[in-house]
Amino acid sequence: MITNFDSTEQKKRWLELTKPTSSNDEIPDISDMWIRNSTCRPCERLLNDRTEIATYFAGIIRTAFMYCRKIMLSDAQLFDGLFFLALGPTTVNGILGKSYKDGPVIIVSGRQNTLEECLKAFTISTVGAVQDAASHADESIRPSSTYCAGTASQHTIRPLEYCAFDHTVTRAEALGLSKSFYDTLDDRLAHVGENGLTMSTVIAQTYAAALHPDGDEQEYYRFLAQRWQEWIDAEKQGLILYENQNDERVRQRANSDGFTPWFERYAQQYAPMLAKRYHLDSKTSGTQCSIFTAALTAISSMPKRSDAFMCINRTKLPEHCVADAGQAPLSKTMLRDWYQFVYQRALARHLGAYLIAVDAPPNSFEQIAGSAGKTDGSSLMLAGVITKQLGDMPFNRFSTFCYESRSTIERWRRCDPSTPKREQRLSTRNVAYSVQQASEERSLMDDGKNILFGAGLAALLALLTALSDNVWLNGNAPIWLIVFVAWLLGMVPNFVDVLKWIRGVRSSSKTVVYLA
C-alpha cells in the first residue's frame, strides 16, 4: 500500500497541483469537475492543461511498482481518490507500461462480494443505520433531531467526508431529505441492471440531487459515474484484481487478527519514537508540550480515524509550527502526520501488504520512522529525486527501462527484513543508479562540455603524472607507492563520475519501504 494514495492525501496534493498560476486560469472546483455534457468536459480539459497531474501520479505509482509488482488499494482509495478517478484504469495501466504479457498490477481490497457492492456500501446507507449512529455519537457532533421523512429501512446517502465530492455529508443532511428522495432512491436501487441502469449512475445522480438540487442530476456527476463504472468493468475484464477481506484464503494470507490489534501495536511502537525525537519528556516543557503529549496519548487509543481527527481539531495547538533549533513542532499537523502513518501502517499490515511512503518530505514522520528502521534493516530508503525521474519518462521508455534493468529491479524486490543490511543498501543504490542512467538526456552541447572537461582533466592528470615521476618521487620512492600513485591518478575519472552520480540523486525527500 502507498501512503500517498490515501484519499485525503490525494486531495491535498491535487489542490497543490491545480493552484491557479495567474488570474486568467480557470480551474474547476472539485465538486464541478465531474460535469459532463455536449459542451463541457472540465476534468478532461484540466488533465490536458495541467500535464503535471499525470506526471506526478506516474512518479508515485512507478516508484512503488519498482519494489512491489502488485499495488494494493482500499476500495475508498479507489472510489474516492481524485487521481484514480480523473485518470481512469486505461491511463493508469498505460502509465505502468503494461502490455499483453503482463498480469494485473493493482489489487483493490474491500469487504463486499464484488467491487460494485463496495461502491454501494461506501456511498449508501440506511436511514435506520444513520439514526442509530447519530444517537450514539459524541454530543458535540450529535444532530439535534434524528427525525427523518423516510422509514428506517429506506436508503439514504452515507454520512462521510468525501474527497471526490469535496463535501462532508453530515448525519443531519442524510436524515433531512424529502420523502420523495428516499422513495426515488429505493426505487432506482431496486431496478439496477434493468435497461442499462448501473449502480454507479444511480449513486452519482443520487448525490447530484442531494448536494446540487438546483443542478441537472443527469449531468452533474456524469463523468464520475463513468469513471466508477470503468474501474468496475476493469475488474470484470481482469485488468485489475479485487479481493474480499472476508474470504478465508485472503484472511489466511494476511495472517491478521484484525485492524485494531495492529493499530494498538504500532501506536505503542511509534508514540515513544515521536516523544524521543522532540524530547517531549525532558527538554521541552510548558502548556503546549502538555497539550501535545495528552493529545498523542489520547489518539493512540483511537483506531477510528474520524474520532482521532476530531480529538486533534479540539486541541489548543497551532495548526502549523516550524521547528526552530531546540524547539519541537508541536502542532495539529504533526499529530495528524503521526496518526496517518500509524493508521496506514496498521491497515497495510492487516491486509498483508508492505507500506511505502513515496517522496516523503523532510522532517515528516514517514522519514523519522524510516531512518529509525534503516539501522535494523526493517526499512529501505531511496532518494526522492528518483520519483521525478520516473514520472518524466514516457510510458514506452519506462517499459524499456523495466526490461533492461529487470535483474536490478528483481534483486531489490527480493529485499525483506531477513536480507542482510549490506545487500539492502547495494540493491537500493543499484536501482537509483539504473533510474538515473535511464533518465539521462544527451545533447551536442552537453557532449561538448563533457569532452572539454575530459580534455582538461586528462591534461591535469598528465601534468600530475609527470610531476610525480620526475619531481616528487624522482625514482627514489618504493615500488608500492609508485604503483599506488599511478592507480590513484588513473582512477580519478571514475571518482569524478561517482561524485556526479551521488550529486544527481541526492534529495531531501525520500521514498521509504517499511518491511517490518
List pLDDT tens digits, range 62-76: 999 999 999 999 999
Name the helix (H) or strand (E) containing 428: helix 421-438
Q: What gap in Å lies between CA 395 and CA 285, rounded to an integer?
A: 53
Of 297, 316, 344, the position where a domain reaches its end is 344
Whether residue 447 has pLDDT greater than 70: no
- Of all residues in the chain, the percent with pLDDT exceeding 90 is 49
10 Å Cβ neighbour count for 197?
13
Show the domain range for 275: 257-344
Q: Is residue 268 part of a domain?
A: yes
The larger pLDDT score, comparing residue 279 to residue 112, is at: 112
Q: Considering the entire predicted model, what is its pTM?
A: 0.84
Q: Is residue 329 part of a domain?
A: yes
pLDDT at 325: 43
Tell me whether strands 167-169 and 160-162 are parallel, antiparallel or unpaired.
antiparallel
Q: Is residue 185 part of a domain?
A: yes
- As given in the structure block, the three cell numbers for residue 117 are 457492492
Q: Is residue 319 part of a domain?
A: yes
Tell me the pLDDT band of 84, cut-offs 50, 70 and 90. very high
One domain, residues 28 and 111? yes
Whether residue 143 has pLDDT greater than 90: no
Of 302, 325, 344, the position where a domain reaches its end is 344
One domain, residues 236 and 274? no
One domain, residues 282 and 143? no
One domain, residues 86 and 228? yes
Q: Is residue 405 part of a domain?
A: no
The larger pLDDT score, comparing residue 33 to residue 508, is at: 33
**216: CB partners within 8 A, 6+ apart:** 37, 208
One domain, residues 301 and 216? no
One domain, residues 276 and 293? yes
Q: Is residue 485 part of a domain?
A: yes
Which three-class secondary structure state does DSSP give residue 71? strand
Q: Is residue 424 part of a domain?
A: no
Tell me the pLDDT band of 215, cut-offs 50, 70 and 90. confident
How many domains, in total, are found in the chain?
Answer: 3
Taking alpha carbons only, the member of 383, 423, 399, 393 closest to residue 512 is 383
Taking alpha carbons only, the member of 444, 407, 449 closest to residue 427 is 407
One domain, residues 142 and 263? no
Torsion angle, CA of 459/460/465/471, rounded to 10 degrees? 120
One domain, residues 195 and 94? yes
Average pLDDT of the segment spanning 130-137: 85
Q: Is residue 429 part of a domain?
A: no
Mean pLDDT, the chain, rounded, equals 85
Average pLDDT of the segment spanning 140-152: 81
One domain, residues 262 and 249? no
Give the type of residue at 109.
S
Whether residue 311 has pLDDT greater than 80: yes
One domain, residues 261 and 200? no
Q: What gap in Å lies between CA 309 and CA 279, rounded to an integer?
A: 24
Tell me the pLDDT band of 151, cut-offs 50, 70 and 90. very high
Average pLDDT of the segment spanning 114-126: 97
Taken in order 44, 49, 53, 55, is the CA torsion positive or negative?
Answer: positive
pLDDT at 458: 66
Tell me the pLDDT band of 485, cut-offs 50, 70 and 90. low
One domain, residues 219 and 119? yes
Helices 479-505 and 421-438 pack at an angle, to 10 degrees, of 70
φ and ψ of 104, to 5 deg: -60, 140
One domain, residues 125 and 240? yes
The larger pLDDT score, comparing residue 313 to residue 42, is at: 42
Of 298, 318, 344, the position where a domain reaches its end is 344
